[in-house]
Structure 1
Amino acid sequence: MSLQHLFADAEALLLDVDDTIVDTRGAMVAAGTHAAATLWPHRPGAHRAMAQRYYDDPERWFPRYAAGEVAFEHMRAARLDEVAAAFGLDVPDDGHHAYEEVYAPAFRAAQRLFPDVPELLSTAERRGMPIALLTNSAHAPTTVKLEALGLVDRFDVVVTTDTLGFGKPDPRVYREACRLLGAGPAGVVCIGDSLPWDVLGAQAAGLRAVWLDREGRGTAEPVASVRGLDEVTAALGGRFGPPRRDR
């Protein structure tokens, strides 16, 4: 489906958070670099690579957390253990706590909003179109991001993994977000950087979806995609139909 048809009569937007509106990869790598330096100061040349590996999560601990299989704290500790093992290191006594103590303030300080987000939010607001956030992160770190960016009161609905105890791509979380928005799934457009979570999962739950492919990776999947949220803003700005005024 073209952007024209996706947005012409859309009732609401459902946005992913991490690496969609917020540069979570940049923040995690920056914070993880500082935290790794605290645990393993004798490996100064490896701290950024450690942080990147933590973000990459090769053992897929974050998807297990999103599926409700492990607790948030367990997921975080397991990712740090995997990094240590990959670099031939041990996590020191109380190392998990020490890592988080350094990581948390550095992560907050590193929060950055992608530059194409503010105009999208303003355009949707002018159209009277509500916006929900749907993230596989937990409520606490999501609040940290929104508070650091001055966005905590900007969204009508925020659905995290804490809401139902699991996250995307379970169809129930998309439908819960739609319910909280007061809109039927068919009238909601989900936008995010994850093809399986933000596009295919949303479509399976009855929503429309757009893949945010910032890096131009492309896919064989027949899905609508954009390179930036400015393309969505253009669609909402009246180019593909009059603004909705009934909400």
Structure 2
Amino acid sequence: MSTLGLGSQPDGIPERRGAGAAVERQLEGARALLLDVDDTIVDTEGAMVEAGTQAAAAVWPERRPGEHRAMAQRYYDDPERWFPRYAAGDVGFDAMRVGRLGEVAHALGLDLPEGAHRRYEEAYGPAFRAAQRLFPDVPGLLDEAGRRGLPVALLTNSAHAPTRVKLEALGLVERFEVVVTTDTLGFGKPDPRVYREACRQVGAHPGDVVCVGDSLEWDVLGALDAGLRAIWLDRAGVGTDHPVATVRGLTEVADALTSRFGRARRDR
């Protein structure tokens, strides 16, 4: 971590300070981890842009390849916030995706040909499955949580079907017994009820569950408001003025588990 310091406790055991200590405090006495999926354990932006580039080419084959990639990036960026509207339960999944494609066409001055959404989805689906990539720091965290007997559940604002695609493509379907999606209650983060439902399914009190994810709004502030603990995964290092426990990678969470739980065993 960038702000990690070492001191000494009276018994001579090293004590982590700064960002490391904040992460360890969130993990103290935790009974479960609640992980976000998109851009936390899987590179969803990379997969969406790769698949979207191929899908845009299927809809607008006359455009140049560089334009197709720009369309895919805009679709992912979602400037009209169609996805948050879907997560709030205001629009359905298909309507959200139709809206995003329409926004791309409108912003770039393109006509939507007949059957554009169908053609986009037919090209997008197999390309998206093939483009799934697990971040390299995920297996280490899952292994460390397993060694500590700490259940790991998933909470995502995506729907069940695309989430299943991601987990199947990565061979992780059997790894997670609890996967809470927007289909579960009809809405997602930051509604406090969805975090509590995830805690209920994992069998732990919200105050004993640590939510980890890349969205400061949804995975950290929303989780804290719902009574959970939280750690922000700031892979890009953008920083925030909010006083929240922050890591640049999931390896730091795994290291904090080792440090925190290891120290607790020595203290007994």
| TM tier, smaller | over 0.9
Segments of 5+ residues of structure 1 without an aligned counterpart are none
| Aligned residue type for 2:187 | F
| Alignment match, 2:25 | 5
| Aligned residue type for 1:20 | T
Give the deviation of 1:184 after TM superposition: 0.2
Give the deviation of 1:241 after TM superposition: 2.6
8 A Cα contact 1:210 1:225, kept in partner: yes
TM-score normalised to structure 2 length? 0.89
Q: Which of 173, 176, 193 is the equivalent residue of 1:152?
A: 173
Q: Which of 108, 112, 118 is the equivalent residue of 1:97?
A: 118
| Aligned residue type for 1:142 | T
| Percent identical residues | 72
| Aligned residue type for 1:107 | F
Give the deviation of 1:7 after TM superposition: 1.2
Q: CA-to-partner distance for each residue in 1:77-131, whole Å, 9 max, x for gaps?
A: 0000000111111111111001000000000000000000001001101111101
| Aligned residue type for 1:197 | W
| Alignment match, 1:17 | 37
8 A Cα contact 1:236 1:243, kept in partner: no
Give the deviation of 1:242 after TM superposition: 3.7
Give the deviation of 1:243 after TM superposition: 8.9
Q: CA-to-partner distance for each residue in 1:121-180, whole Å, 9 max, x for gaps?
A: 011011111011000000000000000000001012000000000000000000000000
| Alignment match, 2:100 | 79
| Alignment match, 2:52 | 32
Query: How many residues are matched?
Result: 244
| Alignment match, 1:227 | 248
Q: Which has the larger radius of gyration?
A: 2
Classify the secondary structure of the residue corresponding to 2:48. helix
| Aligned residue type for 2:209 | V
TM-score normalised to structure 1 length? 0.97
Classify the secondary structure of the residue corresponding to 2:187. coil
Classify the secondary structure of the residue corresponding to 1:241. helix
Segments of 5+ residues of structure 2 without an aligned counterpart are 1-20
Alignment of 1:39-118 (within 5 A): 39-44=59-64, 45-118=66-139
8 A Cα contact 1:39 1:98, kept in partner: yes
- Cα RMSD over matched residues? 1.3
